[in-house]
Amino acid sequence: MKIVMAIIKPFKLDEVRDALTSVGVHGLTVTEVKGYGRQKGHTEIYRGTEYAVSFLPKLKIEVAVSDPAVDKVIEAITTAAKTGQIGDGKIFVYSIEHAVRIRTGETDDAAL
């Protein structure tokens, strides 16, 4: 099993979730994060003083999937999250050794 972790633009969440559902993913976890990268932040100003806001709001999506599903999940996220503009984000994939569904105790692929 793998976890596909993606950093995306916040307003893309619904599209990404829909894309994932349509390739058979029925669970995922979302975290509000701040991203730093090529996309530049902005400057705020309050009473004449400027404040650099260099971190941008992003969402992190984590999806645990069985190995065969990884490619189509990556594909689904890439397509749905893409705007073509700088800052669209990244996808990282890593292996997990166990998965457990707390409610039932089911493990591994059955737990996803």
Partner 1 sequence: MGNGANVFFLLMGAILVFAMHGGFAFLEVGTVRQKNQVNALVKILADFAVSVTVYFLVGYLIAYGIDFYASAADIVSDDQGLGLVKFFFLVTFAAAIPAIISGGVAERMRFVPQLVASAAIVAVAYPLLEGVVWNGNFGIQAWLADTFGNPLNDFAGSVVVHAFGGWVALGAVLQLGPRLGRYGADGRATPPSSIPWLALGSWLLCIGWFGFNVMSAQSLEAVSGLVAMNSLMAMVGGILAALVVGKADAGYIHNGALAGLVAVCAGSNVMHPAGSFVVGAIAGVIFVKGFEFCQNRLKVDDVLGVWPLHGLCGAWGGIAAGIFGLTSLGGLGGVSFMSQLVGTLGGVVFAFVVGLVVYGVLKAVVGLRLSPEDERRGADLAVHRISASPEADR
Residues forming the site for partner 1 (CB under 8 A): 11, 13, 34, 42-49, 51, 53-55
- Smallest separation, CB 30 to partner 1 (Å): 9
Per-residue binding string, ligand ADP, 3-22, x by CB under 6 A, is: ----x---------------
* Cβ proximity to partner 1, 51 vs 92, nearer residue: 51
Of 51, 64, 63, 53, the closest CA to residue 7 belongs to 63
- Smallest separation, CB 47 to a copy of itself (Å): 22
Q: Please state, in angstroms and as integers, the Cα–Cα distance from residue 58 to each residue in 50, 69, 72, 82, following that order.
A: 23, 25, 23, 14
Angle at 7 between CA 52 and CA 103, to 5 degrees: 130
